[in-house]
Amino acid sequence: MRVAFCGLALLIGSCSNNKLYPVSGKVTYKGSSAPGAVVSFHRQGGEAGKEPLILGIVQEDGSFELMCGYLGKGAPPGHYHVLIEWKRLLGPCTCAAGPASIQEKRRHQSGPDVLQGRYADPKNPRFQVTIKAERNELPLFELTD
């Protein structure tokens, strides 16, 4: 419990020490939107596990907005690697009978990454961006095979 609290404090501190600026963009796969894809930003030169969790979820129209943990919309200024993973939902969870919570019963099973990890490798990021201390509208992230 203490380790989790310390880790959460680090994530919160990393976002709250820097002002957040709005960041939005769009993701397409072979020219169509990729709803449900997760777009995550990782500060270049940052230490894994010590940087804020900055991500966005692609909407039906292909757009996304970044969130910095629960602190709100946006990201601190800096240079980032962008990773994208897209796991389509296969259907509702077939949870075992028992005292499962309503939320557990509503979970969905996700399939394998449609992109087969090509855009989610932190050692070989396909995209890099710079977030500025202003509103940021990013160029299109066009995904292909």
Delineate the domains of the chain, giving CATH numbers in brackets.
2-143 (2.60.40.10)
d(Cα 26, Cα 39) in Å, to the nearest integer? 10
pLDDT, mean of residues 84-105: 60
Answer whether residue 83 shows pLDDT above 50.
Answer: yes
- Chain center to CA of 24: 12
Residues 51, 56, 57, 58: is their CA dihedral positive or negative? negative
What beta strand segments (E) does the chain contain?
23-29, 32-33, 38-43, 54-57, 63-65, 67-68, 78-85, 87-92, 108-113, 127-131, 136-137, 141-143
The reported pTM is: 0.76
Q: pLDDT over 90 for what percent of the chain? A: 62
